[in-house]
Amino acid sequence: MNKKILGMFFVSVLFIAMASAMLVSYISNSVVADVSVEAPLVMTISSNGTEYSNSISLQGVYGGDDISFLTNIVNHASVNIAGDYEIIVSNDINNATCEDFTVTQIDNVNMTCFDNSGIAIFNGTSNYVNGTTTVNAINLTFALNIKPANYTITSQIEMA
């Protein structure tokens, strides 16, 4: 008899637990965190070292001329970042090559150049310390025998 009463007690407790679980489908409220993530490195460009923006225009350039500009890179991340600094040179007639430049100097980065289907790509590895700003002076000398065209020079960093 004690076993029968004990069995009925456990069945009753189980029934009460199931009934209360059906009435309350959760134990607490839910919370949400919305996060807006931005690029850790922000790069801007300047022709004079004082006014930086996302683009500049260099006019009156001929074969044999030098061009210079600065890139300003701010590491907003809380960690150091290693990346591949790239300068990609293309033109409107799709025939840019490394031979179009006789001198290429970029501060803080050892660069190599390779040709890729009408695009010259200068590439080098650089490190960016968290919370700091890095300024790179970029100097390019166009070859005397360069074909006249409109050139686009893009600087970017790809995470290693």
Instruction: Determine the pLDDT at residue 106.
Output: 84
What is the pTM (predicted TM-score) of this model?
0.75
- Residue range 89-116, pLDDT digits in tens: 999 999 999 999 987 878 878 889 999 9
SS3 sequence, the chain?
A: CHHHHHHHHHHHHHHHHHHHHHHCCCCCCCCCCCCCCCCCEEEEEECCCCCCECCCCCCCCCCCCEEEEEEEEEECCCCCEEEEEEEEEEECCCCCCHHHEEEEEECCCCCEEEECCCCEEEEEEEEECCCCEEEEEEEEEECCCCCCCCEEEEEEEEEC
At residue 110, the pLDDT reads 81
Domains and CATH numbers, the chain: 41-159 (2.60.40)
Whether residue 58 is predicted with pLDDT greater than 90 in this model: the reply is yes
